[in-house]
Each structure stands twice: as C-alpha cells, then as structure tokens.
Amino acid sequence: MTVIASVSPTSAPAAAVRAGKNPLVLALLLGPSLIFLAAFAYWPVLLVLVQSFSLSQLGEHGFGLGNYARLLSDQHFGIAILNNIIYAVGTIVPSLVLALAFALALQNNKKVTAVLRTLIVMPLFIPLVAAAALFSFIYLPGGGLIDFYLAKLGIGQTNWLGSPSTALPAVIVVTIWKNTGYYMLFFLAGLAAIPTDLLDAAKMDGATALGRLRHIILPLLGPTFAFVLPIALLNALTQIDHVVTMWPGGPSDDANLLLYYIYQQAVQNNDSGLGAAATVVGVGGLLALTTLARQALDRSIHYES
C-alpha cells in the first residue's frame, strides 16, 4: 500500500530559516571564507600597520612615530607624492573625458560602432607590461616612431624617457591609452540606461546637443562617475608595471611614483619600516580622496528609484 504524506508548503522555508539561525551551520558556511579573508586581507593590513610603527629598523625597541618622521623628511618621498598627484590628474581627467566622448560618439552610430568599439577597447586586453614595451620602442631616441616623424619636420631627436620634462608625460600617455577603453565601457552602459524619451523631449523643445549633454546626460551619468572615479584613483596609485618595464633599472625622481618608492624602500633598501609607513600614508590618502570624491558626487547625483 502506498502512503502519500502531505507536506506543508511552508515547511521547507521554515527549515531553511531554522538552519540559518543555527550558529554551527553559519560557522560551517561562513568559516572558510572568513578564514581566507582574514589570512590574505586583514592580517597583511595589520602587519603593515604594526610595522609602520615599529622602531626595530632604527635599532630601538618598541613602537613610535620614527618611521613617519623619517618619511616626511625624505625628499624622495615628497617628489614621489607630487609625481603621483600629477600622474593621477594627468591620467584620470583625459581618460574620463576621452572615454565619455567615445561613448557618446559610438552610442547611436550602429554602422561603425562594433569596429571602433573593438579598436578602442583593444588596449584593455594588452598587458600593461607589453604596452610599456611597445611604447618604449615608440619613444626610442632617434629610431622611435615619434622621432621618425619629428625628423621629417626638421625636429631633432628627444630622449623621451630620459629627459626630466618628458619622462612623466611619457608614462601618462601609456596609461591614458591603456585605460580609456575600459572606462568607455562603463559610460556606454550608463548612456544605455538613460531614457530616450527625455532626450527626444528635450530635442523637440529645441535643446541643443550641448544643452542635452549638460542638463540631462551628465546629471544622469552621476552614478557612473561615482563608480568609475574610485577605480581610476586606485589605478593611479597601483599601476607601476609600465614604470618597471620602461626603466629596468628604476626610474629617476622625475618619473618615480609612490608605489615604486615603497618597493624601493621595502625591497631594494630592505627598510620595511619606511616602506610600511609610506604604504599607510598612500592607502590613507587614497581612502580620503575616494571618500571626498564620492561625497562631492553624491550631492549632485540623480538616482532613479
């Protein structure tokens, strides 16, 4: 004889809720992830923070602000910070402007969109080391692509990577070329989310293209800017692969960036205290800039409900 048991439709969800409230079940589900996160994220951060206050590198015991005092008195650190500020502004602003311009140009042009989008996004898939090697040949004094065309104009060769006035701009150009297509993808997604009815209505009311951009498109792209800007700031602080590739022996002060300065102190000079202090200052500055940028954007952002 077959017995059919009736099961309440709410019994399974209720069982799931009871299991979710069980501390042992929660520990088994979240434990591995929390252990991994603690071992590879929180613990290294704690070690760097402790090392930055450790006075062992100074031949003393205990903790103090000695490493930070040395850091602030090091002129190379000040130069690296200034270079990084110039690098951040010089890469973020042009990259975002170009990315938005390309996104606007490609949004409604269906015939050439696929081809141009591929060409613009292609640098994204080229490793930064390979891009730096490519531009090293372009910048080659006398035999590079730039000097080849400048020679036709009667302009002599330039040591683009060795001259104090062109070293940092040369790195900035590589970064703009590499990141513009990446940011363009976000702007394309943001533009696709803007209701076409708003743009059509504004056009019928006589709004110019510049007026639609200023009063409709840019305000509605606020969330996109709020998402892209922290990524751009992070890239400006952490991208040094091209610096290492373009200057195998290390850059001069004219092109040195904060992350490479940290590498020089912690690895090359075996001064972990100074390197840790520079890391804390760099990460703290990045968090402060990101927070300020988000707050400034949030005041003028329009979020759709």
| Mean of pLDDT over the chain | 84
Cα-based torsion angle of the residue sequence 214, 215, 218, 223 in order, rounded to the nearest 10 degrees? 160
- Rounded to 5 degrees, what are φ and ψ at 239? -85, 105
| pLDDT tens digits, 23-56 | 888 888 888 888 888 888 788 888 888 888 887 7
Q: How would residue 111 be classed by pLDDT, with cut points 50, 70 and 90?
A: low
| pLDDT tens digits, 213-245 | 888 888 889 889 989 998 999 999 888 889 989
pLDDT at residue number 19 = 52
pLDDT at 11 over 70: no
pLDDT at 274 over 50: yes
What is the mean pLDDT of the segment spanning 160-187? 93
- Provide the residue ranges of all domains of the chain, joining segments of one domain with +: 75-298
The residues, ordered by sequence, that sit 6+ positions from 207 with a Cβ below 8 Å of its Cβ are: 215, 216
Q: Which residue has the higher pLDDT, 18 or 162?
A: 162
Q: Strand locations in the chain, DSSP E?
A: none
pLDDT at residue number 208 = 85
Q: How would residue 59 be classed by pLDDT, with cut points 50, 70 and 90?
A: low
Q: How would residue 1 be classed by pLDDT, with cut points 50, 70 and 90?
A: very low
- Rounded to 5 degrees, what are φ and ψ at 54? -70, 140
CATH architecture designation of domain 75-298 = Orthogonal Bundle (1.10)
Q: Look at the pTM and tell me if it is higher than 0.75.
A: yes
Least confident of 39-53, 87-101, 257-271, 291-305: 291-305
pLDDT at residue number 253 = 86
279 by Cβ neighbours in 10 Å (0-12 / 13-18 / 19+) ranks as buried
What is the mean pLDDT of the segment spanning 161-188? 93
Q: Which residue has the higher pLDDT, 290 or 131?
A: 131
Q: Which residue has the higher pLDDT, 165 or 61?
A: 165
What's the CA gap between 207 and 200, in Å, rounded? 10
Percentage of the chain with pLDDT > 70? 88
Name all contacts of 39-46 with Cβ < 8 Å and 24+ positions apart. Answer: none
Q: How would residue 13 be classed by pLDDT, with cut points 50, 70 and 90?
A: low
Q: Which residue has the higher pLDDT, 279 or 155?
A: 279
pLDDT at residue number 93 = 95
